Each structure stands twice: as C-alpha cells, then as structure tokens.
Amino acid sequence: MSADCLFCKILHKEIPSTKVYEDELCYAFPDIAPKAPVHIIFVPKEHFASSLEITEAREKVVGHLARVAAQVAKEKGIDEGGFRLVMNTNAHAGQTVFHLHLHLLGGSPLGGMV
Ligand code: AMP
Ligand code: ZN
C-alpha cells in the first residue's frame, strides 16, 4: 500500500470501483473514463510504480495480468473482434497513475497506434 496511490485506495475500497475480476494477485475494474466500449484496468495487489520496476520476482504477476486480461476479453466476447493490452510508462506514454496497470481495450475498431 502506498498512501497517496489512487489504485491502492481502490484496492483498499477507500475509493469505490466495480469488481470485474479478482484473485490473490490482482484486481480488475472498469476505467472511469473509457476510451473504448470495453475498457478495464488490471492492477497487481502489490504496489509498484511501472514497468520500470518489474523485477524477476514480479515477472509472474505481470504475466498473470496479461493472461487474466485475455480471459476477461473472452468473457466479454471481444476476443474474436480483437483487443489491445496497454501498459503506459511515464510521461510520454501518458501514464497518470503510478501503480503498474494493464488496460484492456476493445469492443470496436481501435485505430492504429503501433
Ligand atoms: P494511465 O494513463 O495509463 O496511468 O491510466 C490511468 C487510468 O486510470 C486512466 O485511464 C483513468 O481514466 C483511470 N482512472 C482514474 N481514476 C479512476 C477511478 N477512480 N476508477 C477507475 N479508473 C480510474
Ligand atoms: Zn498503489
């Protein structure tokens, strides 16, 4: 828990969210400002700021986020159409919350980005 972290506050129910998925490693909830018909945020329960802090010990949880996000994409029926998993890091990528997270975006064509 990092005291001034928005996603830690969501994890500790100090800020409300709607649970989409939860297990011992991660929690998922809808993005408050969705950029696509389906826009879900997946966060590890352990606080760390970004991809720059992925240690060997954290490889498991980061891979887990990707697997679970793809599973939720299937459950939401956006797997065949396709979806995007995004992990922003620092200012040029537009990271605003410094608790590592994976965005799941889909449900309509997303446009080219990379
Ligand atoms: P990023 O720009 O990658 O750091 O993503 C942070 C995301 O958190 C943005 O897409 C915000 O819309 C989203 N966000 C901010 N506050 C909340 C909240 N209270 N509940 C859900 N999503 C939020
Ligand atoms: Zn945090």
| CA-closest residue to ligand 1 atom 15 | 32
Find out if CATH 3.40.50.10680 is the number for domain 6-106: no
Q: What does the pLDDT look like over 76-87, one tens digit per residue?
A: 999 999 999 999
How many angstroms separate the CA atoms of 13 and 17, rounded? 8
Q: Which helix (H) or strand (E) holds 94?
A: none
On the question of pLDDT at 113 being above 90, the answer is: no
Task: Assess contact for 66 and 33: CB atoms under 8 A.
Answer: no
Q: What does the pLDDT look like over 46-79, one tens digit per residue?
A: 999 999 999 999 999 999 999 999 999 999 999 9
pTM over 0.95: yes
How many angstroms separate the CA atoms of 39 and 83, rounded? 10
Give the closest ligand to the alpha carbon of residue 15.
1
What is the phi/psi pair of residue 75, to 5°? Answer: -60, -35
Ligand 1-lining residues (CB < 6 angstroms)? 6, 15, 17, 29, 31-33, 41, 88, 94-97
Please list the active-site residues.
101
CA of 10 to the centre of ligand 2 (A): 9
Nearest CA to 104 out of 12, 37, 26 is that of 37
